[in-house]
Amino acid sequence: MRERCFGTLSRRQVGSFLRMIGFDGFILSVHAAVIVALVFPVSGPAVPWVDGLAGFSIGVLFFLYGVRIAPWDAVAGLTHWRLHLTVLTFTFVVFPVIGVALRWVPDAVLDPRLYAGILFTCLVPSTVQASIAFTALAGGNVPGAITSASASNLFGMFLTPALAFVLMSTTGQMGSPGSAALGIAVQLFLPFVLGQLARPLVSGWVARHAGTLKYVGRESVVLIVYSAFSAGERDGVWESVARTALLQLTLLSMAVVAFMLWFTRFAAERMGFERPDVRAIQFCGTKKALVSGLPMAAVLFAGQPVGQIVLPLMVFHQVQLMMGAWLANRYRRTLATEDGSP
């Protein structure tokens, strides 16, 4: 049976392209959750049930993180320590500096009510899947990317909340430091540590059911988004945000991603890294994780307008995927030309 074509592209090719730039089922579900929350926000007696379920799902999500992340494997892979330290520096030093600097961006460039979300986005660890996929597509150091992205998420468990406490205490979004610290300990650290302790017992089962558990984690994130944006709709948060703010947010995200893609390459080449390592540094050092960032925001900013915090992260995530996919594809074509491949 011949495939239906869109111009010169088959349906399968179109689907592969959309997945490559980030428009997979998960991303579409997250955006659908935002729309549903704005049109049909949870209200009345259902609020504590949905919020409670969202909180429980955060614990499940971080328990699974603890089971999946092998700390000794990450340590064993740190022999290429310069590469990994460089990625961690971009993720947890350079990005936060950029986030702080954006405080002085004019209101015409960024709605000040969304600044806290931009700053939080700059504190989130790197993605794992996208970093590895783009590094592989670009002919980069894939083993190095795997270790760097995993280490970023492992250290991000502690560094992201710590940076948020230090840098966001003056934004008025953190709420009570004591309650935030308790929430982090109970909903993030404790499940993660329990997952690490349970690794010898359940890691095999989790690996065998990875396909099913992937959807458990994704549905947890979708529920967190629905709960956060429902709260914003109930509190009238979105009525105060201008429609142009989304365009401003998108353009600013594009500028930050473009700068970081250039700067990571410039710095890595000046430091003497070979091309495969430069590619790994570029794609691991410029990504921000939606899957781990959303649950962290829900805990860190409990009782605050979380929707305003996570909106910049959602926009940035989509922008980084589209720009990263374009650059990785460009590198792939360059490699193919050098190798004489079609």
Compute the chain's Rg from CA coordinates. Answer: 20
Q: What CA–CA distance (Å, rounded) separates 233 from 227?
A: 10
Mean residue pLDDT across the chain: 81
Q: Is residue 1 part of a domain?
A: no
Distance of CA 55 to the CA centre of its chain: 19
Counting residues of the chain whose pLDDT is more than 70, the rounded percentage is: 82
Residue 159 is assigned to a structural domain of this protein: yes
| Mean pLDDT across 199-207 | 87
Report if residue 15 sits inside a domain.
no
Element holding 10 (H helix, E strand): strand 9-10
| 172 domain residue, yes or no | yes
Per-residue pLDDT at 4 exceeds 50: no
Is residue 16 in a domain?
no
How many residues appear in the chain? 342
Q: Report if residue 10 sits inside a domain.
A: no
pLDDT in tens, 68-126: 777 665 555 556 789 999 999 999 999 999 999 999 999 888 888 889 999 999 999 99
The verdict on residue 4 lying in a domain is no
Amino acid at 266: F
CA 324/CA 293 separation, integer angstroms:
19
Query: Lowest mean pLDDT: which of 23-27, 185-189, 234-238?
Result: 23-27
Q: Which domain holds residue 233?
A: 24-336
In a domain, 5, yes or no: no
Domain count, the chain: 1
Given this model, what pLDDT does residue 30 score?
A: 76
- CA 250 – CA 253 distance, rounded (Å): 5
- The enclosing domain of 171 has a CATH number of 1.20.1530.20
pLDDT above 70 (res 18): no
